[in-house]
Amino acid sequence: MKRLILLAPLLLAGCWSVGPDYQQPAMPETGPVFRAGQTAAIRSSEPPERWWESLNDAKLNQLIELALTDNLDLKAATANLQAARANRDAVAAALYPRVDANAALQRARQAAATQIGNQYAKLPDVWATEAGLGLSWELDLFGRVRRAVEAADADQAQIEALRNQVLTVTLADVAATYIDLRGAQLRVSVANHNLDVQRKTYQLTVTLSDAGRGTDLDVARARAQLESTVATVPPLYAQITADKNRLALLLGQPPGTLDNILDEPAPLPSVPEFMPVGSPASMLRRRPDVAASERALASATARIGVATADLFPTISFTAAPSWAGAQPGDLTKPGAFSYGVGPAISMPIFDPSVYARLRAANASEQSALANFQKVVLTALAEAETVLEGYEQDRLRRQSLSVAASASGRAAELASTRYLFGAENFLAVLDAEAKELAAEDQLAQSQIAVTTDLVTIYRAMGGGWSVAPPPR
């Protein structure tokens, strides 16, 4: 036994891990700046971690802080990370000896009987007691356990990256939903402004008709346009309610909890003049989904080593001292002690499933590699797409701003000319309809530009590092 103990360090010193050693795959070649980001509004400096603060909206900042602590998806993702850490520790426990203890005390009677004459004598009841220890330790000569720990480490890192992805998505969802709510309130104000104009027009047609200068047809047309505009408002209020409920859910609160914060209309958050987005390479380093897919590849590579180790012998060392006697007090008497100690070795001779598992592990590694490459390309494509969309939405907003001003001026002129009999009423209706459409399109364009900013920061993988570290 002493020789085995002395040989154990030598055996462990000669250990190696079978299977491929993981090497992180190379990223695709990218330029120093995004192709779609070479505009006056885009900067190549790194984006801020607390990107939502660039929108200069105190209530949005308040909602974000609440989401960081109360979002239920984030809590679930944090619990998944805690489970992954525990699973990793359970796998790593196989690197160390395992010690078990056992004890038993029984009152027993043998089944046999002794015949004395024509009678059977029952054997007496006896006590039996036993106590012992069991020690087992797998000598990880070929790295099966070490590769399993390597895979578990990668799994834990993948779960942590997925948690960060949940955080990134949650922050973006809170900001986008808040912008959608403020946008709906903006569109309500636009509709109410046009309703004021159309009510005045309707009253004008009634007055002119009563005075004999207008017709009932003009009155009917004005009434129809007024009611059509009124009909656009209820869906916007429904959208506002839906957004408030969505925000409450994102903050882990029941519906109605945020009404006191959000009921009062407020303008859209302001969009900064310049937007820092960093480089494609830094974006890939920040994105949690890229990190998660890379760690999944590392885990799959390590599991090839686990499957390969099954082709080699498994050597373990066991020791089992025990004490036995009729009564508990007999355990300390001479002769009560016994033991068994020594190595054990097992090796598959014919087991086709071992080779099948190895083929499966290699295929899983190839699948993880393809998925990693796809995630990287998807991230690059998504970033280029949202940056281009942001630039085009900005240009569209500029044109719509001019169009809304011109439409408002045209509606005023048409109403004045109609009042003095220089224009028919159809021109007034057409001008007011175009004014409403132009102002509503401008409002929607402003919403789109502000939402684009959130989408860009989500695509850049920003925000997750500001959250408190998971425990």
Buried b (16+ CB within 10 A) or exposed e, 368-383: bbebbeebbeebbebb
Does residue 416 lie within any of the structural domains?
yes
Using 50, 70 and 90 to split pLDDT, how confident is the model at 343? confident
How many separate helices (H) and strands (E) can be counted in the chain?
Answer: 11, 10
Give the pLDDT of residue 364.
Answer: 95
Does residue 252 lie within any of the structural domains?
yes
Beta strands in 165-313 (DSSP E): 275-276
For the whole prediction, is pTM greater than 0.95?
no
Give the pLDDT of residue 463.
Answer: 79
Q: Which of 314, 315, 317, 316 is nearest to 354 (CA)?
A: 314
CATH number of residue 214's parent domain:
1.20.1600.10
Does residue 344 lie within any of the structural domains?
no
> Terminus-to-terminus CA distance in the chain, angstroms?
44
DSSP structure string for 49-76 = TTGGGGG--HHHHHHHHHHHHH-HHHHH
Using 50, 70 and 90 to split pLDDT, how confident is the model at 122? low
Using 50, 70 and 90 to split pLDDT, how confident is the model at 39? confident
Report the pLDDT averaged over residues 370-385: 95
Structural domain for 440, as ranges: 17-97+140-311+352-466
Distance CA 337, CA 319 (A): 13
Distance CA 383, CA 459 (A): 6
In this predicted model, what pLDDT tens digit does every residue of 257-276 receive, in sequence order? 999 889 899 999 998 888 89
Distance CA 191, CA 170 (A): 31
Q: Which of 72, 163, 200 is nearest to 470 (CA)?
A: 163
- The DSSP output letter for 97 is -
Lowest mean pLDDT among 84-93, 122-131, 338-347: 122-131
Does residue 132 lie within any of the structural domains?
no
Does residue 204 lie within any of the structural domains?
yes
Distance CA 124, CA 150 (A): 58
Does residue 130 lie within any of the structural domains?
no
Does residue 332 lie within any of the structural domains?
no
In this predicted model, what pLDDT tens digit does every residue of 389-432 receive, in sequence order? 999 999 999 999 999 899 889 888 888 887 787 777 778 878 88
Give the pLDDT of residue 231.
Answer: 94
Does residue 248 lie within any of the structural domains?
yes
Count of structural domains within the chain: 1
In this predicted model, what pLDDT tens digit does every residue of 163-200 receive, in sequence order? 999 999 999 999 999 999 999 999 999 999 888 888 88
Q: What DSSP element (H or E) covers 317? A: strand 314-319
